[in-house]
Structure 1
Amino acid sequence: MDYRTKLRDLTLMIASSITIIGTTAIAAGLPQMGDAFRATPDGRFLVRLALTLPALSAGLCAPVMGAIVDRFGRRRLFVAALLLYGTAGCAGFVLPSLYAILASRLVLGVAVSGVATCATALIADYTSKGRIGASMGRQSLFMALGNVVFVFLGGLMALQGWRWPFLIYAVGFLLVPGVVLLMREPEGPSGRAAGGGGERAERAPVGVMTVVYVLLFLNMVIYFMVPVNLPFYLRTFSGSNSAQAGGLLSLVGLVWALSSTQYQRIERRLGHQQILVLAFVLLGAANVLLGLARGTSLVVVALVLMGAGLALSITNLNAWLLALTPPHVKGRVIGTRVFCTFLGQFCSPVLTQPLVSRFGLATAYVVAGSVMAAISLAAALHLAGRRALQPRSV
């Protein structure tokens, strides 16, 4: 592998890592931001909304981005999305009103959907089918590390003022030269060039792909119960401050990153459905332990299991989906994957808050863990049933 290929792959991995901070990079400065706009009607609520708006617009726009990628190619949209990412992301540093900042956050989500779709499509284009799992493992590693590094950097920058973390999004500008100089449009079938695409599209296993989409959505809904609620949950029994809560959340990212490096080794021994069973067992156990925790020690154990489970589940679901995808609809499939992922992030507080309000966070975590365990059991039973139906060799 020559240095240009290594730089190209590194650019794609860094681009993947910045998609996950669309919602989180400014989190550390939100209390100060709320103080700055306290005179604005519903200012504190709108400030919290600024954190999640990019996930909403990213999810809604992702299928459109996928269709554009298949119809017109990857590079031009990738460059445009990165430029928009830097512009809309940094806008909060100078925009005077909260409403203008909210509008810029919606535009940032549009850019995130373009970057996420193009980066993953190009990673898949440049990777042979037998190496997809390894590439998705590296992408998951960079996304986890990016979340830890950029959120930590945002916290340091917030010490200078709540506007400073918005400048983190300037990294989008830095990636543009790498895309322009190092990347080419992939050769082979695409939505704009392949004849008979509709006929081949019918061969895609739509039923299995739909199940994977639903699992991606549920995975994000349940996982986001942790970053959204953990700081409040810790106060109920440990009196932890925001710095300690942030450190525990970073632990999830670090374990996620380390575990992602082992995905290819696990994939050689287990199939996608078997890895799904293992991943959801880990996530189920993590949530149940979190609900049972009455001290920080058990929380640490739960979050370690959470990081390992996320590494397996996210990497495996992405690799499984790409393995099922015909080349000429790759962009649309990835766009739908991005849609399910970001919609799950945005919907998590909406769907889980009634449970939290009625029964409390501890019970909500136990219920979430039970749901993950039930999915794991269903997948295991389905796998066992398929094996039982296979003819035995004499």
Structure 2
Amino acid sequence: MTKALRDRNILIYVIQSLLSGLGSGMMWLALAVWASSLRAGGSDAASIIFAYTIGALFGPLSGLLVDRFGARRSAILANGVGVVVVTPLFFLSGAGSLWVAQLCMVAYGIIGSATSAAGFALIPEITTSEDLPHVNSLIQAISSMTRLITPIAGAGLVSAFGISSVVLIDSMSFVLALALLALVKTPRASLRDPGDGGGSLLRELISGVAYLARTKEISRPLVSCLITIFAFGLGEPLIFAIVSDGLTQKSSFVGFMLTIQAVATLCASPFAGRLIVSYGELRVARIALALIACSCAFLMARSELLVAAGYLTVGVGLPWFVTAINTWLQRETPPHLRGRIAGGFSFATSFPQVISVGASAWLITLYPYQFILAGMIALLVLSVLMTFGASGRRDLASRT
């Protein structure tokens, strides 16, 4: 990992990722906190989060723009637009300006999907295949760190200095990220395939997902990813039931468990690259899924120690899975489709997650939470089995 950071382009990109993560991580929660202070109830805060989610559904379109204009250029443009988008938030004055915040958050979600797709496509351009797993694991570690710090920082700044303080920090993060991305050097050759773009807009939008579906080396692990995302969604609403019903603790104990998971994620993320180099992307994904399945068994217990071990295990397995799948997708897909594949994959995985979260919220009113955890274990085992026989053309383990 330290070797990868000696590369000027990678170092610049990592710094801008840190700045972007700090700004955006504070912004969405800070704006939700501001909205919650307008009126009684949580509907206003929920509307902010929902607005951001709507914007994130524009992933396929963002990915198409990345493929058409290039990853670096698209990332610079997205950060420039980000400065414009957050500017109206300086002038929020009360409940009457809630609609302004909601519109800005829709646009913010679109920008987030664009920067995510651009980053997915840009990283393989500026690094070698050997360093790619290490760079991805470093980016994942930064993401884990910002998720641990920024919610508390954003909420604290809003309470102490108002929403404008967070808007100012986020604006500066966009400007600094833009300036740093302008210093990144990428190959001048166009990533656009000569036969790409001759069809309709719809055909171009779905071409990334179509490639994933028709490529045998990719389709089975892709289905495995969708099953895994569904399983993760089932687990999201369970933590309060685990703490209150299983451990008979107060709701504040939830924060302690989530902190254990976040710290474990931060500590485990840097090791993902080494594991991928040693065992290959899909083998690491299987190891990660096995760890998460074991964590579900721990979470069934009525012991604080075992439940804490469960959340610690989730914190280890989750970044390893994300890093392995990202690296695998980057290696297995052609450069001219990476933006659309990133956007389409994000769009496709959002639906099973939303459905499973809703299903879990309903099932938990009918059955004990242990029943849902058992279902998660079954899905994760199925997900692991789906990846066997599909090691991928560039899985490092298959080349050693």
| TM-score (normalised: structure 2) | 0.79
2:161 and 2:75 mapped to 1: Cα distance?
31
Q: 1:106 to 1:379 in 2, by over 3 A?
A: same
Amino acid at match of 1:37: R
1:203 and 1:151 mapped to 2: Cα distance?
37
Matched, 1:11 2:21: no
Q: 1:221 to 1:150 in 2, by over 3 A?
A: farther
What does the per-residue CA deviation read over 1:189-232, in whole Å, with 9 as the maximum and x for residues that have no partner? 412xx434599x99976244344444444444443555554245
Matched, 1:66 2:67: no
Whether the aligned pair in 2 keeps the contact of 1:216 and 1:314 (CA below 8 Å) is no
1:122 and 1:285 mapped to 2: Cα distance?
35
Matched, 1:303 2:311: yes
Q: 1:154 to 1:19 in 2, by over 3 A?
A: closer
Matched, 1:195 2:194: yes
1:55 to 28, 53, 63: 53
Task: For 1:328-347, list aligned pairs within 5 A.
Answer: 328-343=336-351, 346-347=354-355
Q: 1:69 to 1:373 in 2, by over 3 A?
A: same
What does the per-residue CA deviation read over 1:67-96, in whole Å, with 9 as the maximum and x for residues that have no partner? 111112233422232234355457556433
Whether the aligned pair in 2 keeps the contact of 1:279 and 1:313 (CA below 8 Å) is yes
Matched, 1:314 2:311: no
1:340 and 1:165 mapped to 2: Cα distance?
35
Matched, 1:230 2:239: yes
Whether the aligned pair in 1 keeps the contact of 2:292 and 2:318 (CA below 8 Å) is yes
Matched, 1:240 2:247: no
Q: 1:113 to 1:198 in 2, by over 3 A?
A: closer
Amino acid at match of 1:358: L
1:126 and 1:269 mapped to 2: Cα distance?
22
Partner in structure 1 of residue 395 of structure 2: none
1:81 to 71, 75, 78: 78
2:170 and 2:323 mapped to 1: Cα distance?
25
SS at match of 1:359: coil
Partner in structure 1 of residue 113 of structure 2: 113
1:365 and 1:215 mapped to 2: Cα distance?
18
Whether the aligned pair in 2 keeps the contact of 1:52 and 1:346 (CA below 8 Å) is no
Partner in structure 2 of residue 387 of structure 1: none
2:178 to 176, 179, 200: 176
Task: For 1:89-108, list aligned pairs within 5 A.
Answer: 91-92=88-89, 94-95=91-92, 96-97=94-95, 98-108=98-108
Q: 1:196 to 1:21 in 2, by over 3 A?
A: same
Residue segments in structure 1 that go unaligned for 5+ positions in a row: 385-394
Partner in structure 2 of residue 154 of structure 1: 154
Amino acid at match of 1:50: I
Residue segments in structure 2 that go unaligned for 5+ positions in a row: 199-207, 392-400
2:266 to 257, 263, 267: 257
Q: Tell me the C-alpha RMSD between the 2 structures.
A: 3.5
1:178 and 1:241 mapped to 2: Cα distance?
42
Partner in structure 2 of residue 388 of structure 1: none
Partner in structure 2 of residue 133 of structure 1: 133
Partner in structure 1 of residue 298 of structure 2: 289
Task: For 1:35-54, list aligned pairs within 5 A.
Answer: 35-38=37-40, 44-54=42-52
| TM-score (normalised: structure 1) | 0.80
Whether the aligned pair in 2 keeps the contact of 1:227 and 1:249 (CA below 8 Å) is no
SS at match of 2:366: helix
After TM superposition, what 4+ stretches of structure 1 lie above 6 angstroms from structure 2? 201-205
More deviation, 88-97/151-160: 88-97
Whether the aligned pair in 2 keeps the contact of 1:140 and 1:315 (CA below 8 Å) is yes
SS at match of 2:364: helix
Q: Percent identity?
A: 18
More deviation, 120-129/371-380: 371-380
Amino acid at match of 1:364: I
Q: 1:289 to 1:14 in 2, by over 3 A?
A: same
Q: 1:364 to 1:262 in 2, by over 3 A?
A: same
Whether the aligned pair in 1 keeps the contact of 2:230 and 2:353 (CA below 8 Å) is yes
Partner in structure 2 of residue 144 of structure 1: 144
Whether the aligned pair in 2 keeps the contact of 1:281 and 1:372 (CA below 8 Å) is yes
How many angstroms does 1:329 deviate by?
A: 1.5
Aligned residue-pair number: 371
Q: 1:289 to 1:377 in 2, by over 3 A?
A: farther
1:161 and 1:344 mapped to 2: Cα distance?
39
What does the per-residue CA deviation read over 1:170-189, in whole Å, with 9 as the maximum and x for residues that have no partner? 33233222122x12443334
How many angstroms does 1:103 deviate by?
A: 2.2
Amino acid at match of 2:45: V
1:371 and 1:49 mapped to 2: Cα distance?
32
SS at match of 1:306: helix
